[in-house]
Amino acid sequence: MWACGEAAASSARRPRHPFLSPHPPPRRHGIRSFATPAPPVPASFSPPAHTTPLTRRAALASAGSLLLAPAMGLHAKPQPASATKPPAAPAAPTVWPQALQVPGGVARLSLGPASARPRALVRQGDVDVPVLVAGDAIEWTAIVGIPLAAAPGDAFITALADGNGNGSPRPLHYTVAPKRYKEQHLQVSPRTVDLSPEDQARYERERDHQAGVMATFTALPAGQAQPSLRMRVPVPGRRSSSFGLRRVFNGQPRNPHSGMDIAAPTGTPIVAPLAGRVIDVGDYFFNGGTVWLDHGQGLLTMYCHLSRMDVRVGDVLQAGDAFCQVGATGRVTGPHLHWGVMLNRSMVDPALFIPA
Ligand SMILES: [Zn+2]
């Protein structure tokens, strides 16, 4: 089993020594590094339109409210009739991402109807972070990333006035259920836990740079529908279920594992799970060759330990575009993709965004 040294995604503040592999550092495979500061993201970035199906809208439509739809641009695409297809089974409507109100999960909170997209904020540390809002005039939904460090119990977001400036801020409460992630204890040489002063300085520089990348929030243009948030699996391979794994080295807790590891040979192409824009390309101490994509409204994805990166900051990708390759760069024990998914600056479980 490979292990993963990613360390960029902690929401915790105290400086610490992140995970070091107990194994020798891997070879590097000709990384193309474009360690460019993240540029301001232009407001013109607009992923392709796609309307997310919503339960409430379906219910309203069946009750006749669809008459409203043409004026609001809400009419559903006509489904081609199929004589050979059996009647559709009454499957539960699937929404993406799936809701799972635990640390590292996602809450889907209704903001109700409004003619324009409302805004919502979530308090993280000492900052208010904007939240992704999907839906349409019949029902808007805040898609809230719950930090791995979140305490179980009551939590809330603040729904602001809607896009037309109507209404006043109001809290929307939800409950975070406890989830006990597995713990991994490792005894390693103290040298591999305590960084040299040079490596520590490099790590801190990179951590600060990544914090800027993670703060990216690209608003959708007014009237632009939020594209579907159902993601493609970025690379075929065995997926770990190690999201949230709590790692303890020599008795000292380290960052929990905040992504999904997918095992694949070095050189395997990785594709964009959604349309997006490249906001960071670099070669980092723990994460190795790394690319960040911005999918809009604070939904970011991260790809680590890459052997090859074929994009530059500012490139725009469509879903399915190959843009980098699996590798074993950074502090890892074998080739794999470390894939991270971030909502409102919180790393959440990528499994909630892809079919099982
Ligand atoms: Zn990983």
CA of 2 to the centre of ligand 1 (A): 9
* pLDDT attached to residue 25: 32
CA of 66 to the centre of ligand 1 (A): 45
CA of 126 to the centre of ligand 1 (A): 28
CA of 297 to the centre of ligand 1 (A): 24
CA of 260 to the centre of ligand 1 (A): 6
* pLDDT attached to residue 345: 97
CA 350 – CA 149 distance, rounded (Å)? 17
What are the tens digits of pLDDT across the range 201-226? 999 999 999 999 999 999 998 888 99
CA of 131 to the centre of ligand 1 (A): 25
CATH topology of domain 183-353: Glucose Permease (Domain IIA) (2.70.70)
CA of 166 to the centre of ligand 1 (A): 43
Confidence of residue 190 (pLDDT cuts 50, 70, 90): confident
What are the tens digits of pLDDT across the range 300-353? 999 999 999 999 999 999 999 999 999 999 988 899 999 999 999 999 999 999
Among 310, 234, 331, 293, residue whose Cα is nearest residue 30? 310
Confidence of residue 22 (pLDDT cuts 50, 70, 90): very low
CA of 6 to the centre of ligand 1 (A): 6
Confidence of residue 187 (pLDDT cuts 50, 70, 90): confident
CA of 3 to the centre of ligand 1 (A): 7
Mean pLDDT of the chain: 79
CA of 5 to the centre of ligand 1 (A): 6
What are the tens digits of pLDDT across the range 75-110? 333 444 444 555 556 565 578 999 999 999 999 999
CA of 356 to the centre of ligand 1 (A): 19
CA of 230 to the centre of ligand 1 (A): 21
pLDDT at 24 over 50: no
CA of 30 to the centre of ligand 1 (A): 21
CA of 243 to the centre of ligand 1 (A): 8
Reading phi first (left if > 0) and then psi (alpha if -120 to 50, else beta), residue 78 is in beta
Dig out the tokens for 249 from the structure.
Answer: 């080295």
pTM: 0.77
Percent of the chain with pLDDT over 70: 72
pLDDT at 144 over 50: yes
CA of 335 to the centre of ligand 1 (A): 11
pLDDT at 7 over 70: no
Average pLDDT over residues 276-298: 97
